[in-house]
Structure 1
C-alpha cells in the first residue's frame, strides 16, 4: 500500500451494534475533510453519535435517529464516469457525500488519499484553503460511481465545523 493511502480500520458508515441495546446507542464512523491550521485540506476519522430511539409515526416501531443541525440547501445525485478526475478544487459547500454504487477517491493537500465505496460516508468542508486549493477526487474501478450529496449553508467559520465527535486522527 502506498505511504499516502489511509488505512481504514473500520468500514465507514457501518453501525457499531445491532441496535437492540437501548443503553448502547449505535455510532457510525465517517471521514471528515477540513482545512487545517496551515490552510491545507486534510482528513480525519469522525463518529456520528447522539442517536436516540424515535418512531416515524403511526404504528412504526422506534429506530435509532440522529438529526443533523443545519439547513440542507441542495440534494444532488451525481454519476462519476469511469476515469473521471476532479483536479484541485474546494468543497463547494459543507456537504455529506456517500457512494450508492461504484467507488471513488479523495486526495488532500497534506498528501492523504482515501478510497470509498457504497455506503461509506464522507463530510466535506475544505473551504478557504491555500496553495493547492482544496482536494482532488476521482472515480475508481471499471464502473461509474453513483453518489448522493447533501449540501448545507455556510462555509469556513460556520458554527458546526465538526458535525460530530473525533474517532481518531488519520494515519498513514
Structure 2
C-alpha cells in the first residue's frame, strides 16, 4: 500500500471511530423554559431556565431512543385554550402550577418586576406565581395577553405541585 493511501485509510478510520464514539455517547440537547416564579416579598419574576437531566432512552419499545428529562411525576389536568384576538389577561396569578405551551400565535407574560417575555410555538413556560402578593399598584401575579391580531392557542398542563417561593428554575 502506498504511504498516501495508508494515511488516507488511517484518516478514514479515525473519522469513523470518532463518529461511532460520538453516536454512542452523544451530548444531550439544550432546551429551555420560562419560569414565572415568586420571591419571598411576593413579587413575581420571569427567569429563563434550562432543562437539565436529559437521558437518551426509548419511551416504548421498539421505538428508537429519544432524549427525555422527566421533571416530575404525578397527576395533571390537560387543557387546550384558544385566546380570542386581542385577548387581555389582566393581572392575575396562575390558578395552579402549570406548564404552558403555545401551539399557534404569540402571547406575552409580564411579571410584577416588569420583565415581559413573548412566547410562540416552540416555547415553554412554567407558571408558578400563586404566592405573589398585591403591590402598591394593585398588581398581583402577572399580566398576559396576545401579540398581534390573531387568536392564540395554548396547551396548558396543570399539575398537583405545591407552589414555592425563591426557587427560580426549581426543576434541577
User: Is the counterpart of residue 46 in structure 1 residue 53 in structure 2?
Assistant: no
Deviations 1:83-124 (A, max 9, x none): 001111101111110100100000111111111111101111
How many correspondences in the alignment?
A: 146
* Alpha-carbon distance, 1:72 to partner: 3.3
What's the C-alpha RMSD, in Å, of the aligned pairs? 2.1
Change (3 A) 1:63 1:154: closer
Q: 1:107 aligns with which of 89, 110, 113?
A: 110
2:151 corresponds in structure 1 to 144
The structure that is helix-richer by fraction is 2
| Structure 2 Cα separation of the partners of residues 20 and 27 of structure 1 | 17
Q: TM-score, normalised by structure 1?
A: 0.77
Change (3 A) 1:155 1:133: farther
Deviations 1:18-61 (A, max 9, x none): x9573411131111010012211111110011111111333211
Q: TM-score, normalised by structure 2?
A: 0.77
Q: Do the aligned partners of 2:128 and 2:164 also contact (CA within 8 Å) in 1?
A: no
5+ residue gaps, structure 2: 1-21
Change (3 A) 1:22 1:141: farther
Secondary structure of the corresponding residue to residue 150 of structure 1: strand
1:27 corresponds in structure 2 to 30
The structure that is strand-richer by fraction is 1
| Structure 2 Cα separation of the partners of residues 57 and 84 of structure 1 | 39
Describe how 1:5-154 pairs up with structure 2 within 5 A: 22-131=25-134, 132-154=139-161
* Alpha-carbon distance, 1:130 to partner: 1.1
| Structure 1 Cα separation of the partners of residues 24 and 115 of structure 2 | 36
5+ residue gaps, structure 1: 1-18, 166-172
